[in-house]
Amino acid sequence: MKIVHVSAMVRTSADLTETVGSISGINDPPPHDRPIGLDRLEAAVACCKEAIRSAIHVNPDVHNTLGVALTLLGRLDEAIENFQQALALKPDFPEAHGGLGNALRLQGRLQEAASQYEKMLAMRPDDAGAHNNFAGVLMMLGRANEAIAQYALAIAAKPNYAETHFNLGNTFDAIGDPAKAAIAYQTALTIRPDFPQAHNKLGDVLQKLGRPIEAEAHYRRAIGIAPNVAHSHRNLGDVLAALNRNQEAILAYKRAITLGCADAKMYNRLGVAHNILGETEDAFRAFQRAVAIEPCNAEMHLNLATCKPFASGDERLIALERLSEDPKSLSENDQVALHFALGKAFDDLKQPERAFHHLRAGNKLKRSQITYDEAETRQQFQRIRATFTADLLANKTGFGDPSTLPVFVVGMPRSGTTLIEQILASHPKVFGAGERLDIAHVIAGLSGASGAESDFPEVVTGATGESLRGAGSRYLDRISSLGPNSERIVDKMPFNFQFIGLIYLALPNARVIHVRRDPLDTCFSCYSQLFSGRQPYAYDLAELGRCYRAYDGLMNHWRKVLPHRFILDVHYEKVVEDLEGEARRMLEYCGLAWHEACLKFYETRRPVLTASFAQVRQPIHPRSIGRWRPYRQMLQPLVEALAG
């Protein structure tokens, strides 16, 4: 990880006081708004050299001043030579030790630089700039604790030194302590509110702390101070994308590109945002630019592959096959992405043997990267069944929040949950919130509220009526602002099927729509997908089949112990066969009047973040039904695992 470090340049000459600013860190421009006058630096160099040539007794101050100017001009070898000459003439010259340390640091000679800063501090123990610079070198040497101690000494010597607080924040961020980093950045901004780099970095750590709204405000403040810094617009785009405000993110990304941040990653970000909004052609062009810039980046090739089906003679396939000629030149992640992209290409081209060859290779390599405890997963499902008995549910029923706002769409990934959400979200009184993690957050808070110390699911056994109602209310607090004028809000996290019993207790008037698709189609679709999230069970056919059986067993349990009305089972194949009939059934279950817009779900403009973003932009079709059949002979481990 690169550390942005703002250092203090030692100055001794009045002639350079107005010219010599600060040497900046690796990524950001100098914190001072005053530009460095190169013409004045060159003039200073000429003046110092003339003074040295004409002097009978050379003054060490002149060599030191010349070293400072040469350092700022990037002529580091000459600078080092002059600092050394100054020290030869005057060994107890703290500024020259500091200047030599700066030049050595910029050359990457970190141990030597550290030694010079130590010598300066032996003479000037209260020099805040020297402590700051010494800390920066220590951090580059991987000595974080010593760096933090030096920053503390710098702050003690000069509490209002904003750059030191900024550097301290960078150090805390680098060692994985964003909370302390945020405090340091805030302090820097209290001292110097117009510090754009501090606003940017504070935005970064606020995102890590799960505070994206505050992060957005600081990115916008950075842009207000320095509007032409490309990475500020990139950062703003990233937080807007995280907030699912992809149209705004696109504008920020385009501005970053205009300002010179036109690398492959930037175009890839742009393509992802367009894809989420269903702007397939724009996404395709952005991914094309990304691939053109980084033709060996297979992950970007995979994004390009997902935009549209492959056709005979497709240039994308030619590029993928060219890339596959030397797979060892690729990183492991790129090899995985390449196999999945080729698997999709040959599947589109109706060449199942070639497609499966690559899918098997990609899944095998991906599985080798994953730690997955299958026994623990199956045991978790057993614990849920053992905890949520009919007796427990009967004893704790009737205490939850009575709101009818939430609709949960659950099921295995790739079962059609995105399609069902899109149909529902096309109704004017429904807001589709996508895959939310709010239930998991509510569970995390349930233990403290109930006074129990157990994990889920056992924590529910000690939950009081008050804590269950509080859990439901906390969930509503998290989602209600998403669709403030909506009568129903859809939470489409498939894995909420694990929490249906808790949902019943905490939100008894919620609606749960369980989407079921042919098990072989569901599992093969999972096997064909390189997930962006963590689905560790999906990369081995036998494990995938056993996971499906465990999920199916849990759903059967819910049907036995919960009221029949609480879960509506919807079959993907029936939706394809009779869209209107199934849509009417779902709306009636949700207590909503019929609306024709649900039949034209593919025209609904809303962000779709899942792998099904392309499918839900098209009218209903049966092409995904029976998709597994051409692969029948290759899927035997899955078939056997599903059969038990």
pLDDT tens figures, 451-461: 445 789 999 99
How far is residue 622's CA from residue 29's CA, in Å, rounded to a whole number? 56
Q: What is the DSSP letter of 400?
A: S
- Res 353: pLDDT: 97
168-172, 508-512, 618-622, range with the lowest pLDDT: 618-622
Q: Can you tell me the mean pLDDT for 460-469?
A: 93
Q: Could you tell me what percentage of the chain is helix, strand and coil, using 3-state DSSP and rounding each to the nearest 5?
A: 65, 5, 30
Half-sphere CA count of 282, side-chain side, radius 13 A: 15
How far is residue 323's CA from residue 305's CA, in Å, rounded to a whole number? 14
At which residue do the structure tokens 């860190």 appear? 25
Distances 254 to 238, 258, 259, 391 between C-alpha atoms, Å: 12, 6, 9, 58
43-57, 497-511, 604-618, range with the lowest pLDDT: 604-618
- Res 34: pLDDT: 38
- Res 608: pLDDT: 58
3-class state of residue 515 by DSSP: strand
**For residue 50, what are its two tokens?**
């003339």
The answer to whether 298 and 345 have CB atoms below 8 angstroms apart is: no
- Res 616: pLDDT: 59
- Res 611: pLDDT: 54
DSSP string, 313-357: T-HHHHHHHHHTTSGGGS-HHHHHHHHHHHHHHHHHTT-HHHHHH
**For residue 448, what are its two tokens?**
């403290």
How far is residue 229's CA from residue 459's CA, in Å, rounded to a whole number? 50
What is the percent of the chain where pLDDT is above 70? 91
With bands split at pLDDT 50, 70 and 90, how would you rate the model's confidence at 609? low
Q: What is the pLDDT of residues 246-298, one digit of tens each?
A: 999 999 999 999 999 999 999 999 999 999 898 999 999 999 999 999 999 99
Q: How crowded is residue 404: how many other Cβ atoms within 10 Å of its Cβ?
A: 14
Nearest Cα to Cα of residue 193 among 217, 170, 209, 173: 217
Q: What is the pLDDT of residues 350-382, one digit of tens each?
A: 999 999 999 999 999 999 999 999 999 999 999
The answer to whether 484 and 472 have CB atoms below 8 angstroms apart is: no
Distances 637 to 490, 544, 590 between C-alpha atoms, Å: 35, 9, 39
- Res 471: pLDDT: 94
- Res 613: pLDDT: 52
Cα 120–Cα 124–Cα 128 angle in degrees, nearest 5: 95
Residue 490, φ and ψ in degrees, nearest 5? -95, 125
The terminus-to-terminus CA distance of the chain in angstroms comes to: 47
How far is residue 393's CA from residue 116's CA, in Å, rounded to a whole number? 71
Q: What is the mean pLDDT of the chain?
A: 90
Residue 207, φ and ψ in degrees, nearest 5? -60, -45
Contacts of 206 (CB under 8 A, 6+ apart): 178, 182, 212, 214, 215, 218
Q: What is the pLDDT of residues 395-429, one digit of tens each?
A: 999 999 999 999 999 999 999 999 999 999 999 99
DSSP string, 249-288: HHHHHHHHHHTT--SHHHHHHHHHHHHHTT-HHHHHHHHH
Tell me the sheet residues that pair with 430: 488
Cα–chain-centroid distance for residue 22? 33
**For residue 139, what are its two tokens?**
């951090």
pLDDT for 8 beyond 90: no
Nearest Cα to Cα of residue 181 among 173, 193, 190, 189: 173
- Res 31: pLDDT: 39
Nearest Cα to Cα of residue 199 among 250, 244, 236: 236
Q: Can you tell me the mean pLDDT for 95-113?
A: 94
- Res 533: pLDDT: 77
Cα–chain-centroid distance for residue 281? 24
Q: Which domains does the chain have, with CATH numbers?
A: 14-226 (1.25.40.10), 227-294 (1.25.40.10), 295-368 (no CATH), 374-643 (3.40.50.300)
The answer to whether 129 and 155 have CB atoms below 8 angstroms apart is: no
Q: Can you tell me the mean pLDDT for 469-474?
A: 95
